[in-house]
Amino acid sequence: MYGRSGFADIGPAQIMSGPIHPPSWWGAPRDFRQRPQERKIGWLELFYDLVYVAVIGQLTHHLAAHPTWATLGHAFLLFCMVFWSWVNGSQYYDLHGNDGLRTRLMTFWQMLAVAAVAITVQDAFAGEPRGLAIAFCVLQFLITYMWWSVGLYDPSHRAFNIFYTVNYLIALALLLTSVFVSGPVIIWLWTAALVLDLTPPLIGARRIVRGVRADGREFTASTSIVERFGLFTIIVLAESILAAVAGIAAIPHKHPAAWAAFVLAILIAFLLWSLYFDMTSEQETRTGYAYMQWLMFLHFPLLASFSIAGACLKVVLTSAQGPVPETVAWMFCLSLAVVLLMIVGLTRIMKEEEEDRSYIRPVSRLLVALAVLLILLPATGIAGHALLFLGVIATLLVVPVVVGIRSWVRYRFPRRT
């Protein structure tokens, strides 16, 4: 299903019937052998991404209103389910999308389903998960159909689509079951469905890699899909900005300490943006099937942690003159630590030029050390004052940015002897 430009031809015994040739205006899924390695991100793709703002906003808002570990666990599960749908929609467009009517309709239906998920999130947290389960069923059905239909239009894909079709159908059955049950069973069913949705590229890895190599090709992620992950990261980071604005807007009398906390919150969001994009932007993944999978799986905890950090920022700003709730302090620091570690992980799968290494190498070591410090920070009692808490975190995040820029300047502009 994935590939740089295609797989080995499948023998006649594996092809149950010939391909379907629909009218050109309808637009059959594009053969991935015709996928350009470098292309401009389409306006439809960008529009598709925007619907996820609504879902992530709902999750962030609820976590900020109810910052408990149980809420965090449920929000993380829902975030992963939503992000899985985005990954599938984005990869499908990258491999098989075109300007035909079919692609537009499939995108529209997915956007409707994701919007329905956003509408029903609050109901699920309030103890009425049936609407959310139905919305997820529709979304799951659409994604399952998308990948199955590739084999309908091009039978040579069927040997690879089987892993996705079977797992996605079982996951759909679990989601349908969750519509008719109640209590903690729903969470277990959703968790099992998510595991089934995430494992096809791992289960089918050997056959996919063997098929690519038999055709004399090597798998690599396209530059456009790497860019899509960066664009989605911007969407999630935007929640930190919105949370900071909402946090200070909720304070009736905005004293100087509140404004100072607001500045620090925006600074923290800016520093996180800087670390992520300075360490990973304008690079390609290394060649190999596994690196595409690492790109995807590392972004699950990374983006979920960005969302959690945004929710925590909102809570911290509402108590700018007082102490930060202990649970929120731990959540915030742990989420930031995960972000830093995932960024380091991403640098390990990216191609690096010497100029990139001049920034990445010294910063990577610092990020690991800072992640440990952040995990220990709430135990110091510094969260007793919100402004001091934010100030210390901002200072810690400034250090790797300054060190990285300093190393890069030394590389680009060496002193003349």
Question: What percentage of the chain carries pLDDT values higher than 70?
Answer: 83
Burial environment of residue 171 by CB neighbours within 10 A (0 to 12, 13 to 18, 19 or more): buried
pLDDT computed for residue 139 by the predictor: 95
With contact defined as beta carbons under 8 Å apart, do 83 and 53 qualify? no
Instruction: Give mean pLDDT, residues 82-111.
Output: 84
pLDDT computed for residue 11 by the predictor: 37
- pLDDT band at 249, cuts 50/70/90? confident
Per-residue tokens: 10: 């499948």
Report the half-sphere exposure of 45 (CA within 13 A, side-chain side).
24
With contact defined as beta carbons under 8 Å apart, do 77 and 191 qualify? yes
Going from the C-alpha of 138 to that of each of 59, 152, 165, 180, the distances in angstroms are 20, 20, 15, 15
Choose the weakest-confidence range: 311-315, 360-364, 375-379.
360-364
- pLDDT band at 15, cuts 50/70/90? very low
Question: What residues does 350 pair with on adjacent strands?
Answer: 285
Q: How far apart are CA 179 and CA 38, in angstroms?
A: 42
More confident residue, 222 or 191: 191
- Residue 330's CB is within 10 A of a number of other CB atoms, namely 19
Burial environment of residue 118 by CB neighbours within 10 A (0 to 12, 13 to 18, 19 or more): buried
- Please write the tens of the pLDDT for every residue from 34-57: 555 667 788 888 899 999 999 999
Is the pLDDT score of 386 beyond 70?
Answer: yes
- Please write the tens of the pLDDT for every residue from 273-322: 999 998 886 667 888 788 888 999 999 999 999 999 999 998 888 876 77
Is the pLDDT score of 417 beyond 50?
Answer: no
pLDDT computed for residue 253 by the predictor: 78
Q: How far apart are CA 223 and CA 275, in angstroms?
A: 20
Per DSSP, the three-state class of 100 is coil
Choose the weakest-confidence range: 3-12, 48-57, 133-142, 374-383.
3-12
Choose the weakest-confidence range: 112-121, 134-143, 375-384.
375-384
Question: What percentage of the chain carries pLDDT values higher than 90?
Answer: 46
Instruction: Give mean pLDDT, residues 372-395.
Output: 91
Only one residue has tokens 């700003």, namely: 317
With contact defined as beta carbons under 8 Å apart, do 354 and 387 qualify? no
Is the pLDDT score of 361 beyond 50?
Answer: yes
Is the pLDDT score of 70 beyond 90?
Answer: yes
Q: What is the mean pLDDT of the chain?
A: 84
pLDDT computed for residue 163 by the predictor: 83
Instruction: Give mean pLDDT, residues 161-184.
Output: 92
How far is C-alpha 284 from the geometric centre of its chain's CA atoms?
A: 17
More confident residue, 99 or 310: 310
- Please write the tens of the pLDDT for every residue from 329-359: 999 999 999 999 999 999 988 887 766 677 7
Q: How far apart are CA 162 and CA 1, in angstroms?
A: 10
Instruction: Give mean pLDDT, residues 235-263.
Output: 85
- pLDDT band at 78, cuts 50/70/90? very high
pLDDT computed for residue 20 by the predictor: 60
Residue 268: closest CA among 397, 376, 372 = 397
Instruction: Give mean pLDDT, residues 99-111.
Output: 86
Q: How far apart are CA 345 and CA 368, in angstroms?
A: 10
- pLDDT band at 14, cuts 50/70/90? very low
Q: How far apart are CA 276 and CA 283, in angstroms?
A: 12
pLDDT computed for residue 101 by the predictor: 82
Q: How far apart are CA 44 and CA 122, in angstroms?
A: 28
Angle between helices 354-376 and 386-412 (to 10 degrees): 160
pLDDT computed for residue 22 by the predictor: 60
- pLDDT band at 1, cuts 50/70/90? very low
**Which residue spans within 251-334 are E strands per DSSP?**
none
Only one residue has tokens 């210390």, namely: 392
The one-character DSSP state at 350 is: B
Q: How far apart are CA 121 and CA 386, in angstroms?
A: 30
Q: Where are the domains of the chain?
A: 32-214, 223-411
Instruction: Enter the pTM of the model.
Output: 0.86
Residue 261: closest CA among 328, 336, 317 = 317
With contact defined as beta carbons under 8 Å apart, do 72 and 331 qualify? yes
